[in-house]
Structure formats: C-alpha cells, structure tokens
Amino acid sequence: MAKEYRESYTTDDIKRRIDYLKNRIDFAESKYEKLYFMELLRQEETKSNQVEEDETKADRTAMITKTDLTLEQLTQYDGSGGKPAYVAVDGIIYDVSREGSWGGGTHFGLYAGQDLTEQFSGCHQAGILKNLPIVGRLIK
Amino acid sequence: MGSEICPVVGNKQNILKSIIDKAINNIDQNKKINLIWLEAATCSGNIISLLNAENPDVIYLLRKMVNMTYNNSLMAEEGERAFKKFLDTLDTEFILVVEGAVATKNNGLYNVIARYKGKTITGMDAVAMAGKKAKYVLAVGSCASYGGPSAARPNPSESKSVYDFLDREVIRVPGCPSNPQWVIGTIASILINDNPELDKENRPVLFYGITIHDLCPRRSYFDKGIFAKKLGEPECMFKLGCRGPITRTDCPIRRWNNSTNWPIGDNTPCIGCARNGFPDSMEPFVRY
C-alpha cells in the first residue's frame, strides 16, 4: 500500500506540478514572478530526481535479494532450449533473456550461464548494465 | 512513421526506381562511367546475386547505367586479353567494385586472378592497383566489407577486408551475398550524388539504416514474449539465436529472389550475414 502511494506520488503528482510550474514560467507577467516559479520548479525537480533515485535503489536492492546462485547453478541458465539466459558481471547476475544482442543466449561468441566479468570489461562501460533486470548475487 | 525515425520506411515509396530514373537523367548515355567488378577471395556469390536483380535488372545496369569493362564471370574475353581490359580501364575514370576479401599471405598467392605476360597477378595486386586509381570503391558482400567467411577462423590465407586493406574511402555494401538492389541502388546513388549518405561503418543508410528486428513481421511475438521452440514454428525465433536485432538491413521489406522470400519468412533465423563479425561472432546460427 505504501508503495502504491509512493508511485502515484512520483509519477502523477510531481509530474503534474512540474508541468504546471513550467506553464507558469512561460506565462509569467514579470521577471520576479518568473524567478519565483523557476525556484519552485527547481525544488520540484530535485524532489523528483531524489524519489526516482530512491526507487531505483530500492528496486535494485529488492531484486538483489531475489535469487542468489552459485556458479554451478548459473550454468543451468544458458538460454538453450528456451531456458532463461543469465550472466554474471562483478558478482551480480543479470537476466539477458530478452536482450536483443543475446539471441539464443549467445552474444558474439559468448554463451550465457557464465561469469563474464572479464569479457564485459573488455568491451563495455558499466552504464549499460543498469537497464538489465537483476536476478541476484553470484555466490562465491 | 516519420522519415527521421525510420529512413527506409520514409523512403519506401520512392526508393529505387526514382533513383534510377534520376541517375539516367543525370548521365550522358554516351559517357557512362566505367566499372570494374573484381572477384578476389570470394565464392562469386555476389555476382551471381547481381544476375538475380529485378527492377532494374542487370541488363538495365549494363546498358543504361555503367560500362562494365571487366568481370571474369561475365566478360567474353579470356586470359591476357581479359586482363588487358582491366589494365586499360585503370587509365580512365571508373568505379571499382570488389567482392571477396583480400588474401594477403605469401603476397596474396592464395588468390591468383590472372596471368599477364608471364607474370602472376594476385587478387591483392589487382585490388591495390585499381584501388589507387578508382574514383569510388565499393566493397560488395561481407568478405569485402568485413572479412566475412574468407577471413573466418583460422583464416589460413590471412584474408582482410577491402576496407581494411585499402587506405582510402571504401563504401561497404555487406551481405552474404549482397542483395542485388543494394548494389545497383548504391551505384545509382553514386551516379546521381557523389556522396550517398553513409553511416559510421560506411554503409549506405538507404539500405542499412534500420535493423531487421525493427521491421520483422514476427516482431509482435517478440514484444509479447512468445517464442518459437523449434524451427518451423510461426513465432519469434529470437530464442533460437536470431540475429535480427543486431543486423542492419532492409531484408523484411525488400526480401530476395524478386521479393519472393527471405530467411525469416522461410522459417530460418537471421544469421547476421550482413554485419561485422559474420560468421565467427554470429555462431551458433541455430541454438536449441
């Protein structure tokens, strides 16, 4: 229930307020009125960013505790025969089952179901991982 | 859909015929540009594919668009007389089309294309000679563009793509083989416009602007998460190893064999034949 409230607060409320303030800035009659609303908009945007960040963090933390796997268990999720395709990078297991570049659980000669930290750091920046669903932690 | 988002869909209504017409209006019929179609380390698949062209066909290309002076599969001359034609063309303004990679081991001896006055001419010599003097160079097919099957592991002939071999601008028209309309369309756009719009890998945006996945008729299955479990099923073949999401061509709308069929339409996943890394990095082609 608390989460539902938060979601409605973030997606609708803040967005509506931001739109409203932007309108007021556009149609402000004086410089001071404009400055006043710009300050309010700044506050609102900071709030929005904060909430968004918190949610992402909360989601990620929640996901991290979902399914932890050992390297041996991870090998089951290699994407073959329609199975999910998971890969581990830096101790976190990601789901690449629906990732466009991972057709059939394979990716430029690499196979899912493995710890690919080394291969990942050879080709990509860490930023691209943030859009991937997290499965859990890799148990060493 | 706006043309800014999707160049192929935006241009669909006026893509090839209009370009050809424009090209014809822009060239003097008596002064067609010469064209050398060189077959280096190749299976000759691209020239065979070119013969399959429709609307316009290859006769139209040869009669109305360019003056093809040298191609070992099509020309009437043989032996030294054939290669003389090649040498004569080098002194004129010409387009060089190369299909096949450049075999570089042992000075290119793995791919000999002619003997002239007692001398052995390798594909590497010919590409270097013509590449220096050509007005435009087109690397047609995946071997010429990226190395392709010729340069696949373990690459015993040490083959390189024409793009890597020549130190100059090379337009890539990849595909295994390249669709005849991509080739004729690229030549046409050169004839009307010195600088066809190219992407960062030097491919014409007109044909390589969007991925196969973008226009795939099975896309809705992917979006809903419904996947084929084996070949022959009508759903999305992503989980069988389809490379459509990472391969940029307009195969879904242009198709092959006079627009009759294409891999996904015939129940086989895309194997990424038109992209960098084919075939080694695109394997396995099918995964159960």
Helix (H, G, I), strand (E, B) or coil at A5: helix
Per-residue model confidence (pLDDT) at position B124: 97
Per-residue model confidence (pLDDT) at position B46: 97
Does A108 contact B at CB distance below 8 Å?
Answer: yes
Which span out of A39-43, A78-82, B242-246 was modeled with the highest average pLDDT?
B242-246
Q: Which two tokens stand for residue B37?
A: 């179609």
From the list B229, B242, B288, the residue facing A103 with the nearest CB is B242
Contact B280 A101 (CB under 8 A): no
Higher-scoring residue by pLDDT: B269, B16: B269
Per-residue model confidence (pLDDT) at position A95: 94
pLDDT at B2 > cutoff 60: no
Confidence of residue A5 (pLDDT cuts 50, 70, 90): very low
pLDDT at A60 > cutoff 70: no
Does A105 contact B at CB distance below 8 Å?
Answer: yes
Per-residue model confidence (pLDDT) at position A6: 46
Which residues, numbered 194 to 213 in chain B, qualify as contacts with chain A under a Cβ-Cβ cut-off of 8 Å?
213
Which residues in chain B have Cβ-Cβ distances shorter than 8 Å to A103? Answer: 238-246, 269
Residue to test with chain B: of A102, A111, A119, A123, most B Cβ within 10 A: A102
Q: Which two tokens stand for residue B25?
A: 């209006």
Give the pLDDT confidence of B132-187 residue by residue, as tens digits: 999 999 999 999 999 999 999 999 999 999 999 999 999 999 999 999 999 999 99
Give the pLDDT confidence of A74-133 residue by residue, as tens digits: 999 999 988 999 999 999 999 999 999 999 999 999 999 999 999 999 999 888 898 899
Higher-scoring residue by pLDDT: B12, B277: B277
Confidence of residue B24 (pLDDT cuts 50, 70, 90): confident
Residue range A11-30: average pLDDT? 87
Contact A104 B246 (CB under 8 A): no
Chain A nearest CA to B229, separation (Å): 6
Residue range B25-48: average pLDDT? 88
From the list A81, A101, A109, the residue facing B288 with the nearest CB is A81
From the list A98, A100, A106, the residue facing B287 with the nearest CB is A106
Give the pLDDT confidence of B188-227 residue by residue, as tens digits: 999 887 778 999 999 999 999 999 999 999 999 999 999 9
* Rounded Cα gap, residues B288 and B284, in angstroms: 10
Beta bridge partners of A105: none
What domains does chain B contain, in order, with CATH numbers? 2-207 (3.40.50.700), 212-282 (4.10.480.10)
Q: b/e per residue, B79-115, with b = 16+ CB within 10 A?
A: eeebbebbbebbeeebbbbbbbbbbbeeebebbebbe
